[in-house]
Amino acid sequence: MTGLRFFASPRFWRGALPALSLTFVLLGVFWLQPRAMSYFGLNLLFNLAIPIALATIAQMFVIAVNDLDLSIGSFVSLVACIGATWLQETPLLGIAALLGCIAVYACLGALIYIRQLPSIVVTLGMSFVWSGCAVLLLPTPGGSAPDWIRTLVTYKPPYVPMPLIAAAALALIVHFALMRTSWGVLMRGVGGNEKAITRAGWSVLKLKMTMYALTAVFGILAGLTLVGLATSADANIALRYTLLSIAGVILGGGEFVGGRISPVGAVLGAMTLTLTASFLSFLRISPDWQIGAQGAVLIIVLALRAVVNRMEARR
C-alpha cells in the first residue's frame, strides 16, 4: 500500500511530468511515422537534441542562482563560429578565445552580484556583443568543423544511438554533481537561501562566478556539438536556443526562484521540445508555427504542474 500511495502522490507526478511529456510526444511520432522506431530513426529524431540539451543545462546553472541568461543563443552561435574558423585553422587561438569566453561569463556573474544589476538587462546587452563578434568573425555562413568534432558527434555505437547515450550521460553526470554532492548543495543554495550561505562563511560572489563559468562551459560544448553536426557555422545558427533553453529548464521542473532545478528533467525537457518539432513536421505543419506549438506544449505541462502543486498544497 505504501508503494501505491507513493505513485499516487503529487510529488511523484510532479517529478514524472517531464518523462511523461517526452513519452507522449514520442508515441505520437511513432504513430505518425512507424519507421522512426529504429536505430536510424531514433538517431535522426534526437540528432539535434544534444546541443539544445547542453544549452539548456547552461541556462539551468544561471536559473539555479535566480538569474536568467538572454544571451545563451547568441553565445552558442559565436562558439560555433569560433569552432568553424579559429579552432579549425589556428587551434591555439581558438582555445584561447573559448577560455576568454569563460572568463567573460565569470566576470558577468561578478558584475551582476556586486552591482546588484538585473541579469536580464546585462545578458540582453551581452547578446548583442556575442552576436556582433560572431558577425565580425564569420560575416557569411561558412567555415568547417574540425575533423575530431565531426568524428565525435557522428559516432555510431552499436544497439543504442549516440544522442540517447549522450543525453543519458549528460543528465546523470550533472544530476550527481549538483544534487548528490556538498558542492552542489552550495551551488543551489545561492538561489535557495543566499543569506544562509553567507552566514556559513562561503563566498556568494565566488559561487555565483562559478555558476556563470559553468554556463559558459556548457554553452561552449553546445556550440561545438552544433557545428560538428552542421559541419559549418553561421552567426545566427543558434539564436532560438535562448528561448528553447529557458523552456527546457521550466518544462523539466525548474523554477525561476528558489534554486529549484532538475538536471534530468532539463535534459528531458530539451529532448521533448526537439521531438515536438519533428512531430509537427510529420503533421506537415509549417516551421513558422512550430515555435508556437512548442510553447503550447510548455503551457500544457505547466498547467498540469499547477494542478499537481495544488493537490500537494491541500495535503
Each domain of the chain, given as residue ranges in start order, spans 21-304
For 43-64, how does the pLDDT look when each residue is reduced to its tens digit (9 = 90+)?
A: 988 988 999 999 999 999 999 9
* pLDDT for 249 beyond 80: yes
pLDDT band at 311 (very low <50, low <70, confident <90, very high): low
142: which DSSP letter? B
Confidence of residue 314 (pLDDT cuts 50, 70, 90): low
Residue 188 · residue 16 · CB < 8 Å: no
Who has greater pLDDT, 289 or 202? 202
Residue 191: which of 301, 64, 28, 29 has the closest Cα? 64
Which tens digits make up the pLDDT trace of 59-115?
A: 999 999 999 999 999 999 999 999 999 999 999 999 999 999 999 999 999 999 999
Count of other CB atoms within 10 angstroms of residue 142? 12
In the structure grid, which three cell numbers stand for residue 268, read together? 528531458
pLDDT band for position 189 (cuts 50, 70, 90): confident
Average pLDDT, integer, range 262-274: 91
pLDDT-based confidence at 313, cuts 50/70/90? low
- Cβ within 8 Å of residue 187, ≥6 positions away: 61, 64, 65, 178, 207, 210, 211
pLDDT at 16 over 90: no
Strand partners, 233: 142
pLDDT at residue number 267: 95
Alpha-carbon span 198 to 240, nearest angstrom: 36
pTM equals 0.92
| Cα angle for residues 182, 194, 98 (degrees, 5° grid) | 70
- Percentage of the residues of the chain whose pLDDT score is greater than 90: 55
Topology of the domain comprising 21-304: ABC transporter involved in vitamin B12 uptake, BtuC (1.10.3470)
pLDDT: which is higher, 197 or 226: 226
For residue 265, what pLDDT is reported?
Answer: 92
* Angle, helix 162-179 to helix 49-64, in steps of 10 degrees: 10
Quote the pLDDT of residue 1.
Answer: 42
Give the residue among 154, 201, 173 at the shortest CA–CA distance from 48.
154
Q: What pLDDT is attached to residue 145? A: 92
248-262 average pLDDT score: 83
3-class secondary structure, 233: strand
Which range (5-14, 119-128, 169-178, 271-280) has the least confidence? 5-14
Sheet strands (E) in the chain: none
φ/ψ bin of 233: left (φ > 0), alpha (ψ from -120 to 50), beta (otherwise): beta
pLDDT (average), residues 224-238? 94
Q: Which three cell numbers stand for residue 261?
A: 532545478
- The predicted pLDDT at position 201 comes to 87
Q: Which among 34-43, 105-114, 194-203 has the top mean pLDDT?
A: 105-114
Residues 260, 67 contacting (CB under 8 angstroms):
no
Burial class (CB in 10 A: 0-12, 13-18, 19+), 278: buried
Inform me whether the pLDDT recorded for 176 exceeds 80: yes
Q: What is the DSSP track for 258-298?
A: TT---HHHHHHHHHHHHHHHHHHHHTT--GGGHHHHHHHHH
**Residue pLDDT, tens place only, 280-301:** 777 777 666 666 766 776 677 7
Across the range 171-185, mean pLDDT stands at 92
Q: Residue range 155-159: average pLDDT?
A: 90
Residue 13 CA from chain centroid, whole number: 23
The pLDDT, as a whole number, for residue 136 is 95
- At 253 the pLDDT is 82
Q: Is 135's pLDDT higher than 80? A: yes
